[in-house]
Structure 1
Amino acid sequence: MTSIDRLTNLCPPPPTAPSTDWPSIEQSLGMTLPTDYKQIADTYGPGAFCSFIHLYHPHATTPWTSITGSMPSTIRTQLQHDRDSGTYPVPHDLRHLFVMGVTDNGEYLFWVTEPANAPEKWTITANEARGPQWYTYNGGLTDFLTAVLSGQETVPCFPDGLLTQGVSFTPTPPTTIDTGPQPPTSTTADTNDIRAWARANGYDVPDRGRMPVAIVDAWKKARNQ
């Protein structure tokens, strides 16, 4: 049984997922992506595992969760600032970190891209949201997800009750077009997208619950909505 088979047996994917022109995506990124990531993206599409772990995807509905969006460089800049200011130590060479996922609490998932020309050997690391802790998994993304979702691997900065409601994958709803006035706190985006944008732009946002109106309004203005 392959790694992707073990993952899909544990966490069934949706019936369909969008296809991706991977050569074009890799050309735009300037690097070859791990095969298992591409298998996950092709099998599940954009969405969240256990309503918590969001992998960046070429077909994400916003640039804040897109694998080709601005977040990888934005997060690398933030980490460099943290290192330079002595805020939080980073136990990896920043040149070899590429963010490819985020949790609902604001932890980021990275590939440790060493060796750069051997993506099948890349490992996974995650940082604590607003804290100094880092976790590293000595394996690829599919095996990491399978280990975490099966309970075989515990990520210290993930919540203890991650698997309380069972293992699931929830596809991201497609972006819809507004047809009329909306309440101030209404948005068609996934709340996690707004959290990711807000944190990348220096806002202090809650881990759960309704987003503050001011932050939602700022997010809309940034998107010219």
Structure 2
Amino acid sequence: MVAAIWKIIDSSVAGGPPVILEAPEGTSLKELLAEVSRWAGRPRNLAADGFTDPSLTERTGLPLVETFGDELLEMRGWAYRSHWIGCGSVVTSHRERVVVVIAHREDPAVTGFPEGASWAEKLCILTGWEPVPQPAVDWPAVEADLGTSLPSDYKEIVDLFGPGGFDEYVDLLVPGARGMDLVDWAKSEGYPAPDGLLRWGSSEQEFDFVWQTGTADPDDWPVLVGQYGDWERYDCGLGEFLVRMLTDRMYAFPTSRLDAHFFRSDDFRSIEG
């Protein structure tokens, strides 16, 4: 079923009607939910035991359930970029069926931004940040010290913003930043460790923000967010994660409910020379 979902996502036209797939006979809804969750993250509960969440809107998953009416028994939904994905069960003619729904979604991380803007540039737009001269990071030296290249979006964000935090919610680790040095944190936590986690951010809410390293291309490292080793995976890079953390309510961060966003600069690095 996952292959069929990807095929529809890759071929669907923006604004088209929802696509409904009936799963093969004998498909376990529980196993299907677990399979999709491995790459789409934790789903939202839209309907259970024949009761549909009455608060649903176009922004929170309504397109996944409105087609079925009283036939709907269960539905879990994911916001995946410009698509809604739903897995659930319906009953027709006294027969229960497992279904998959793919519907168009207005992606808040894309809508309203200039075409071709990078994730770092979108963060500047969202926060009203005007880049100021920063002490240059010697990226080749940093990467040699770490023993790995770093994601290009992270380096662009650091070059534009420097040390600091977004919406007083997540603070960036930046090479050379006092108390928030990416390299110092990596070494203190034993990177590279067998689990391949590399911290890039911290939060007063005691959340850990890390990359799951291991793939050859750092731009493919997903983001993990968690507490005490209980991780939620986000199948995207740091830049996209930050933009969605600020704009996408389906990511469920409180920052997405703010009317305006800001970046607090904490540039305590010394400038040599």
* TM score, norm. by length of structure 2: 0.50
Q: Match of 1:68, SS?
A: helix
Distance across 2 between alignment mates of 1:173 and 1:45: 6
* Candidates 176, 183, 191, aligned match of 1:68: 183
Q: Match of 2:131, SS?
A: coil
Q: Provide the residue aligned with 2:211 in structure 1.
A: 111
Q: Is the 8 A contact 1:76 1:97 kept in 2?
A: no
Distance across 1 between alignment mates of 2:181 and 2:263: 18
**Residue 4 of structure 1, CA deviation:** 2.2
Q: Match of 1:15, SS?
A: coil
Distance across 1 between alignment mates of 2:248 and 2:158: 22
* Candidates 11, 33, 49, aligned match of 2:127: 11
Are residues 162 and 59 of structure 1, via their aligned partners in 2, closer, same or farther at CA, if it must alter by over 3 Å? farther
Distance across 2 between alignment mates of 1:14 and 1:43: 8
Query: Which structure shows the higher helix fraction?
Result: 1
Q: How does 1:153-172 map to 2 (within 5 A)?
A: 153-155=250-252, 158=253, 160=254, 163-164=257-258, 166-172=260-266
Q: How does 1:47-58 map to 2 (within 5 A)?
A: 47-58=164-175
Distance across 2 between alignment mates of 1:94 and 1:103: 24
Q: How does 1:73-222 map to 2 (within 5 A)?
A: 73-75=187-189, 94-115=194-215, 117-128=216-227, 131=228, 133-155=230-252, 158=253, 160=254, 163-164=257-258, 166-174=260-268
CA offset digits 1:59-100 (Å, max 9, x no partner): 3122xx10110x2344459xxxxxxxxxxxxxxx84321111
Query: RMSD between aligned alpha carbons?
Result: 2.5
Q: Provide the residue aligned with 2:151 in structure 1.
A: 34
Distance across 2 between alignment mates of 1:132 and 1:114: 18
Are residues 76 and 55 of structure 1, via their aligned partners in 2, closer, same or farther at CA, if it must alter by over 3 Å? same
**Residue 13 of structure 1, CA deviation:** 2.7
Q: Match of 2:160, SS?
A: helix
- Structure 2, unaligned stretches of length 5 or more? 1-115
Q: Match of 1:95, SS?
A: coil
Distance across 1 between alignment mates of 2:269 and 2:160: 20
Q: Provide the residue aligned with 2:5 in structure 1.
A: none
Q: Is the 8 A contact 1:123 1:139 kept in 2?
A: yes
* % identical equivalent positions: 26
Distance across 1 between alignment mates of 2:195 and 2:260: 36
- Larger relative contact order, structure 1 or 2 (CA cutoff 8 Å, min sep 6): 1
CA offset digits 1:136-180 (Å, max 9, x no partner): 11010000000011134425xx5x36744731100015379xxxx
**Residue 104 of structure 1, CA deviation:** 1.5
Q: Provide the residue aligned with 1:25 in structure 2.
A: 142
Q: Is the 8 A contact 2:247 2:256 kept in 1?
A: no
Query: Which structure shows the higher strand fraction?
Result: 2
- Structure 1, unaligned stretches of length 5 or more? 78-92, 177-225
Amino acid at match of 1:11: T
